[in-house]
Chain A
């Protein structure tokens, strides 16, 4: 098995030192004092100019958080986090209310230029820069998906620095802004939905987020509107010793549709940085939300030094009849990933989907999966999870599918496949299946294997080189998930998989 051996060696050789987003932007930041206290919570709330009710909500969460214990059930191992040794707020100083990218610090712009995802479409950035001129992109592409136009909200450390295409979105009635702005401009919507999917003190990290979240994105799609373009948020942790705690809230009114993309990167640092985000999705009758993530936080170096601790709570609520929420994730980064995008299938005939590619290399530890909670009649869900572990990494799928007594006719199909590259890594599967009524049909399947000699032989026999053969097989392995990514992310993802597993994918 020379080819696989070769691949294994190359993967080992490549490892995580080649993280290409590891640059640091020397930009002046405004930091809150280190540590966490009620004063810090007040400080963050004050910075965002928040109303009294939100401050109270944060303080309540903070007080609850003090009584909570860090969960230890996941298969991840890390030194205890000192929550007092972090900055909970960092803002690039120059971004006090930029109206356009012109007003943004040029160093920041350079940063964006260096970043592949998702601000890679330079013409989009250019479009923003020329926002006063009639844009060539402004043809009536409304309703046309995959046109290559993406509205972007960029979150730099703690604050949202820029949101693009706002005007055009407003024409369609879509609200897309930072959540701090939404609190000011649309308090009634925020108040109505915030914390209704992921309650204020849902779990340890979500509670921490409720207390100290600094910014994030807010999306509101009015009734019957099909969002005219893909929406995207880009997160970056830049400042040292900071935690990033963003909060995203997406509301799809009756009959609406939105596709939302999220990308993340961070500089290379020796210390571990904390990222504890909360994402809440609400889909009302006949609405559909498609949420795609490419997570590429800094994974730490080959010896496991540094890297982002990614503790994220993502949950979607299919509140209405025939509503649909689809999570697609490509997880390649982070030293530790603790993430379970879930769907509460409350509405009749509602549908939840989870497509995941989780790649771990070096010393990365991934514990990720999903929960599909069937409450509504005839609700259905589908889970496709592909884990690839290499190097010394540990990759765990952990998921729950449950049907409550009243969720008659619920259906689930789950498939979890793991591919192991090298004999120092681990792949684990921990599914929970709870069927509480007889008319639900659940099917669960999981496999673990390496690239088999037979597969290699077959491909080689047809004249493919060793590397090509491995690439073909790995691509085939993740294909089921790849095809669910929006066009905008496809190229990016293939590149990312290449970087993460260079050598396997040619």
Chain B
């Protein structure tokens, strides 16, 4: 749906349009020019998405972005000690990982540790763009199945920094991509990552998004992941942006024959966040597992939107998302599974469950099936409700105080999603992260 051009531009839209004409706009490299100008044109035509656009029915960015978020210019110099302190707060801080750190959008080699052996190439996108290796030029901007959506368009228009990772063998330890936000004032930080997992390789990528409290930035992040033939991807993302921040993320996954991909996202931060995942099956006998947990309080708004495109036969997809919603928070789940006409023997299952802890919390779900092939087994489920009184009673009858009983039940509820994470260490780290959120909340409540 095209936005009527007569509609007045919002401050956020105006700020982006001004930036399109400004000096801060990344020009080139030449091989990206046409994609960049197409992206700008797409945004000029459509503006920010709003609730009249079906995919954005529950997240009205036009309305929710009250201020302008101009792109952040060259990042101000910041205190290394402060960054290190923030890195230590990452749930994965205790794990043995390689790290690529982006502070206010810019790669910081002095904070990073890229030692991952010969089988993994890690490049800073900003540095490699002009003389990009083939695997970057042939993949960047190509894994996108929905390049025209607003998040992706703005990202393509502004992105210069990010990580380009190629995995050619089995990764010894996980690679953590850390995005830190410390700059003040309303601004947009744009990052773009490319992850190429070559045939038979096994990639293990962690992402953490951490914001300094009090900051009101907008983080726009697009990650393109190409999983080659018989390759394996483990991808875990934790979103702990600052309370006043906006987090707009677009993850695109392409899967080759026999590939296995497992992507998990946990969200507790940001006032408004949207995680989009677009997955496309490019080869047969492929498995995809998308899962996530979302824990919200206050007036937080978190939207998870998935599109799984079964383009070829004999593939399996699983989605499991759990939401815990307190206060006046709002959790949104939109999951679409499409099965194209020839994609016989597709097996697709999806589940979204919300636990509403407060009378004023809200859960909106739109699980969607679009099926054009007959020999398939597809299903979805969605549930919403509060804690089961009987479960609580059972625990309390055994002498467990109410607060503890609630925490136990919530942890059990959310834990089902964590079970989808394959690495034991990472799963434990996530459980600790969820536990910390719960402690904070049950104490307060």
Contact = CB atoms under 8 A, between A and B. Distances in A.
Interface in A398-441: 405, 408, 418, 420-441
Given A435-B354, A437-B356, A446 B366 contact: no
Instruction: State the main secondary structure of chain A at its contact with B.
Output: strand
B304 interface: no
A444 B367 contact: yes
The 10 closest A-B pairs by CB, nearest first: A438-B356, A420-B374, A435-B384, A441-B385, A438-B386, A447-B379, A433-B365, A429-B369, A444-B382, A442-B384
Interface in B349-407: 354, 356-386
Contacts of A432: 364-366
A443 interface: yes
A423 B384 CA distance: 34
A53 interface: no
Contacts of A433: 363-367, 382, 384
B384 A405 contact: no
A438 B382 contact: no
A73 interface: yes
A113 B344 CA distance: 46
Interface residues of B, number: 35
A450 interface: yes
A434 B385 contact: no
A423 B373 CA distance: 5
A147 interface: no
A449 B378 contact: yes
Contacts of B362: 434-436
Nearest to B336: A430
A435 B356 contact: yes
Given A445-B380, A446-B367, 11 more contacts: A405-B360, A426-B371, A426-B372, A428-B370, A431-B368, A433-B366, A435-B362, A438-B359, A441-B383, A448-B379, A449-B376
21 contacts: A420-B373, A422-B374, A423-B374, A425-B374, A426-B370, A429-B367, A429-B369, A431-B368, A433-B382, A434-B365, A435-B354, A435-B363, A435-B364, A438-B385, A440-B385, A441-B385, A442-B383, A443-B382, A448-B377, A448-B379, A449-B377
B341 interface: yes
Nearest to B326: A438
A446 B364 contact: no
B299 to A, nearest CB: 14
A441 B378 CA distance: 24
B23 interface: no
B366 A420 contact: no
Nearest to A442: B384
A429 B375 contact: no
Given A421-B374, A436-B362, A444 B369 contact: no
Contacts of A434: 362-365
A431 B359 contact: no
Contacts of B360: 405, 437-438
Nearest to B339: A448
Given A73-B54, A441-B385, A427 B364 contact: no
A429 B376 contact: no
A429 B379 CA distance: 10
Interface of B: 54, 341, 344, 354, 356-386
Nearest to B382: A444
Given A426-B371, A427-B371, A446 B380 contact: yes
Q: Is the interface of B mostly helix, strand, loop or mixed?
A: strand
Contacts of A421: 374
A440 B355 CA distance: 11
Contact of B383 (A444, A446, A448): A444
Contact of A447 (B54, B378, B382, B383): B378
B341 A429 contact: no
A440 to B, nearest CB: 7
Contacts of A427: 369, 371
B368 A429 contact: yes
A471 to B, nearest CB: 18
B25 to A, nearest CB: 36
B11 to A, nearest CB: 29
Nearest to B338: A428
Nearest to A434: B364
A212 to B, nearest CB: 29
Chain B CB within 10 A, most for which of A422, A425, A436, A443: A436
B296 to A, nearest CB: 13
Which of B371, B373, B381 has most chain A Cβ within 10 Å? B371
B357 A442 contact: no
B341 A439 contact: no
Contacts of B369: 418, 427-429, 446, 448
Nearest to B346: A448
Given A433-B366, A444-B367, A423 B379 contact: no
B173 to A, nearest CB: 41
Contact of A438 (B358, B371, B376, B381): B358
Nearest to A422: B374
Given A422-B374, A435-B364, A444 B381 contact: yes
Contacts of B376: 420, 448-450
Contacts of A418: 369, 371
- Count chain A CB atoms within 10 A of each CB in B365, B378, B384 and give the residue with the most: B384
Contacts of B367: 429, 431, 433, 444, 446
Contacts of A431: 365-368, 382
Given A435-B356, A437-B356, A438-B357, A443 B383 contact: yes
Nearest to A453: B375
B379 A445 contact: yes
Contacts of A443: 381-383
A444 B365 contact: yes
Contact of A437 (B359, B370, B383): B359
Contacts of A424: 341
Interface in A17-31: none
A216 to B, nearest CB: 33
Interface string A109-129: 000000000000000000000
Contacts of B381: 443-446
Interface string A441-483: 1111111111000000000000000000000000000000000
Given A408-B359, A448-B371, A439 B379 contact: no
A446 B385 contact: no
A21 B183 CA distance: 73
Nearest to B333: A433
A201 B278 CA distance: 39
B368 to A, nearest CB: 5
A228 to B, nearest CB: 42
Contacts of A430: 366, 368
B76 to A, nearest CB: 43
A408 B358 CA distance: 12
Interface in A245-285: none
Nearest to A432: B366
A300 B336 CA distance: 31
Task: Select the residue from B358, B361, B370, B377 with max chain A CB neighbours within 10 A.
Answer: B370
A445 B384 CA distance: 12
Contacts of A438: 356-361, 385-386
Nearest to B356: A438
Contacts of B384: 433, 435, 440-442
A443 B373 CA distance: 26
Contacts of A426: 370-372
B438 to A, nearest CB: 17
Interface string A45-80: 000000000000000000000000000010000000
Contacts of B366: 430-433
Nearest to A394: B372
Nearest to B354: A435
A439 B357 CA distance: 9
